[in-house]
Structure 1
Amino acid sequence: MEHLQSTIYAFGYNLLKQYGFSTQAAHYSNTILLLVVFFMVMYGLDFLLRKIVMLIVIKTIRRSKTRIDDFLIHNNVLKYLTHLLPLILAKQALPLIFTGFPNITQITSKIVDVLLIIAVTFLIKSLFYTFKDILHSRKRFTDKPLESYFQVIAIILYLIAGILIFSEVTGKNPTGLLTALGAVSAIIILVFKDTILGFVASVQVSSNDMVRVGDWIEMPKYGADGNVLTINLSTVKVQNFDKTVTTIPTYALISDSFKNYRTMQKSGGRRIKRALNIKIGTIRFLTQDEIEDLKRIKLLKSYIIERQLEINNYNQTHVDDPTMLVNGRRITNIGLFREYIKRYLLNNSNIHKQFHLMVRHLQPNEHGLPLEIYAFTNTVDWIKYEGIMADIFDHILAVVPYFHLELHELPSATDIYHLIATQNKKV
């Protein structure tokens, strides 16, 4: 090896001297040339390992049925592994190649050591990320924010690598750097504030099971309404239902309010909570003829008969003057309408019978009397849910006139036009 190095050096030195280089310039130029040749040889070896050995290994691995080797390839474990062999060979060959050049040997050795530290760091990181992918392939961990934890591990690896590189380049003990870092810890905390907050939030989100990958969450403050794609150290990505993606700071999940629909999806039922505004002026007692006519409605027939019997018995014993409608008890159109909706929902096969079901009055306002339907469908599928709710309200809106009721709505331009036309005709 010494003879080969001397021969190459002598050849380059004499060649440079022939082209008019001074003795010192030829010496330095030849040394640089020798370094370039050395690193080119190392790069060539690295290239051969990656292109030949890796191709053979990858073909062998892809034939296997296990997914672990696929994760190794995906995270470039083999690629970083092949970088180590040329660097280790270079580390061993440096003293032999640059015999008689102690300064060059020292500088080149430091460069190789730094490259070794970087290669080992990336190799360890890729192994950790392979482990993360293996965990993600298990059903138990599919919805856990593993990305956040492994990002913290990557940051720690980078910090350790940075300290080792600093120690290697300066030749100082790493403890000195750690002492200096302790002195500027306040600045570090300030610089990495979002990272620290994100890590704390990730731990709390995971430990309290607040959000999982795949959950449908709604966070109006950030315009998020969709499924969680990823949860990492700094951000949570949500794909909205309009196919846009909203990015939310991870720590916002514990500092702000949001809605998670996971329990609704697991329950098997989704809530319908919608009101009809009944015009208050149309609410009244029903006449006997109107009651008889409404008995023709199958869902109400038994209820009306039972209700009339109950009311008649009460009025006979408690009412002195039954001719005054206000005295005693009477059947109202809004009461029958409310009972009809309730029975209609109970007989609807798409309504969940184990959850709350009611038709209730809300506080009357300038828009009339809100009559709210509160029930649950027996499916959580969004498209089916909207279809079921639309079918229910299509029917309810259509039967309102049968109960001699009207819905409140603001007058349209057509209404005003007909009103003016009617007034003009009268004049």
Structure 2
Amino acid sequence: MEIFNWAYKLFIDLDFSRSSASYGNLVVNIIVIIIVALILDFISKRILVAAFTVFAKRTKTAFDDILVENKATKYVAHLVPTYFVYVTIPIVLKSFAYWEKFFEKGMSIFMIFLFLWIIRSVLHSLKDYLKTKPAYSDKPIDSYIQVLMIILWLFASISIILTLFGLKIETLLGALGAISAIILLIFRDTILGFVASIQVSVNDMVRIGDWITIDKYGADGDVIEINLATVKVRNFDNTTTTLPTYSLISDSFKNWRGMVTSGGRRIKRNILIKTNSVRFVSGDEIEEFKKIQLIRSYIDHRQADIDKFNSQNSVDKSIPINGRNMTNLGLFRKYINQYIENHPAINKDMTMMCRHLQPTEKGIPIEIYAFTTDKRWVNYEYIMADIFDHVIAAVKYFDLEIFELPSNNNTVFVETDGDH
């Protein structure tokens, strides 16, 4: 085209040789094309971004707004100057066959990267949009986007190699097959993470927002991110633990989601009663225990059954071990049962009991097993502490003792004859 030969004629008129004039014309044309491309890029970005921003504000969906935030329109605007350069440069390089082939390869690679960046911005916009939807807010969207990007990068890398070296796809795939073991070694974590992400999602093992505990990695908190390679957990001390995604299927962990979605949070704690403080209760003491309102009706009913049994079997009441009798520990357990049944913060529709565990060298464990209606951590701890404050204070009213190891203040030293 004549428009690209004006510099050549100018150099000829200035007595340059034909060869020098050709190269001078090439340099001038490339500079002009670059300047025009930059101007087109600036104008297209201004027009396209402004137009799409106005359009996004008028629509009800938030997806187009997110596209603007992720600069998708900016990357699309680059297509205009790219197309201009792609069309004009071959004309300028018509007489330079070597450089024309070099340019074609360079432009092809640039176009691959540009399309990859456009698709990447669209996928990231889709990810951000889905995270605003309640149905997808707890799904590992990051993992899916990363998998798609890995596939796109793989195809892009193959296309770039084919373009640079002029290879056929069969030749490249054959070479990749020969080094597949090395590829598997390099992408081991990625492959494991990909498989783990699918299993975690399909089996609904972990969601974003779940409270999980993994002792191996010191993680105890809420899941804030699940992607292809890692899972991020914000611990309750505001530190962040990062662990491999595949650890969710290779190691054991505790997910507290069931507790959060259930009707209560479990209390499972015991106190240790000294074995030698457990004894039978005499008749006079029973009258004193009847003053405790929560077990008054129980004592009346229980004593009637005991008296009836002992009378029918002509039991010698002079020794408490004969026949049936109440114990202070039995009354205490019944009192705890009645107390937690009447506690306003305990869920009455879930398991609720005070149980007697296997005696140990430190005493008899009396365990409270119940569920609080309030599952929030601070409130749960307050409710549990309130219950055990009362239970510990009530022990002495049943003439029982709580086991605890001796301290310096209550250790008694006995002096004996002989050497110390």
Contact 1:9 1:34 in 2 (8 A): no
The two structures have a TM-score, normalised by structure 2, of 0.91
1:212 aligns with 2:207: yes
1:83 aligns with 2:82: no
1:228 aligns with 2:223: yes
Q: 1:59-70 residue pairs with structure 2 within 5 A?
A: 59-70=54-65
1:333 to 304, 328, 331: 328
User: Cα RMSD (Å) of the superposition?
Assistant: 2.6
Contact 1:5 1:98 in 2 (8 A): no
Q: 1:329 to 1:96 in 2, by over 3 A?
A: same
Measure the CA separation in 2 of the matches of 1:299 and 1:234.
57
Measure the CA separation in 2 of the matches of 1:52 and 1:12.
38
Q: Report the counterpart of residue 261 of structure 1 in structure 2.
A: 256
Q: Report the counterpart of residue 97 of structure 1 in structure 2.
A: 92
1:305 to 300, 307, 314: 300
Q: Report the counterpart of residue 2 of structure 2 in structure 1.
A: 3
Post-superposition CA distance 1:224-255 (Å, at most 9, x none): 11111111111111111111111111111111
CA offset at residue 385 of structure 1? 1.0
1:292 aligns with 2:287: yes
Contact 2:49 2:68 in 1 (8 A): no
The two structures have a TM-score, normalised by structure 1, of 0.90
Measure the CA separation in 1 of the matches of 2:374 and 2:60.
38
Alignment identity in percent? 46
| Residue identity opposite 2:251 in structure 1 | D
CA offset at residue 409 of structure 1? 0.7
CA offset at residue 25 of structure 1? 8.3
CA offset at residue 294 of structure 1? 1.3
Structure 1: segments with no counterpart, 5+ residues: none
| Residue identity opposite 2:346 in structure 1 | I
More helix by share: 1
Post-superposition CA distance 1:129-180 (Å, at most 9, x none): 3333343333322222122122111011011111111122222223321221
How many pairs are equivalent? 416
| Residue identity opposite 1:64 in structure 2 | T
Q: Report the counterpart of residue 368 of structure 1 in structure 2.
A: 363
CA offset at residue 360 of structure 1? 1.0
Measure the CA separation in 2 of the matches of 1:5 and 1:115.
24
| Residue identity opposite 1:80 in structure 2 | Y
| Residue identity opposite 1:275 in structure 2 | N
Three-state SS of the structure 1 residue aligned to 2:320 is coil
1:274 to 269, 272, 295: 269
| Residue identity opposite 2:6 in structure 1 | T
Contact 1:94 1:109 in 2 (8 A): no
Moved more, 348-357 or 124-133: 124-133
Q: Report the counterpart of residue 189 of structure 2 in structure 1.
A: 194
CA offset at residue 67 of structure 1? 0.5
Moved more, 126-135 or 366-375: 126-135
| Residue identity opposite 2:237 in structure 1 | D
1:393 aligns with 2:392: no
Q: 1:110 to 1:140 in 2, by over 3 A?
A: same
Q: 1:235-254 residue pairs with structure 2 within 5 A?
A: 235-254=230-249
Measure the CA separation in 1 of the matches of 2:206 and 2:146.
18
Q: 1:13 to 1:410 in 2, by over 3 A?
A: farther
Measure the CA separation in 1 of the matches of 2:75 and 2:12.
37
Measure the CA separation in 2 of the matches of 1:13 and 1:394.
104
Measure the CA separation in 2 of the matches of 1:269 and 1:245.
27
CA offset at residue 210 of structure 1? 0.7
Structure 2: segments with no counterpart, 5+ residues: none
Measure the CA separation in 1 of the matches of 2:205 and 2:14.
73
Q: 1:25 to 1:407 in 2, by over 3 A?
A: farther
Moved more, 312-321 or 275-284: 312-321
1:147 aligns with 2:146: no
Moved more, 288-297 or 154-163: 288-297
Q: Report the counterpart of residue 311 of structure 2 in structure 1.
A: 316
Three-state SS of the structure 2 residue aligned to 1:415 is coil
Three-state SS of the structure 1 residue aligned to 2:126 is helix
Q: Report the counterpart of residue 127 of structure 1 in structure 2.
A: 122
Three-state SS of the structure 2 residue aligned to 1:54 is helix
Post-superposition CA distance 1:201-237 (Å, at most 9, x none): 1111111111111111111111111111111111111
Post-superposition CA distance 1:116-135 (Å, at most 9, x none): 11111221232233333343
Contact 1:128 1:150 in 2 (8 A): yes
Post-superposition CA distance 1:366-425 (Å, at most 9, x none): 211111101111122212211111111111111111010111111122213xx35999xx
1:106 to 101, 104, 109: 101
Q: 1:76 to 1:13 in 2, by over 3 A?
A: farther
Moved more, 164-173 or 269-278: 164-173
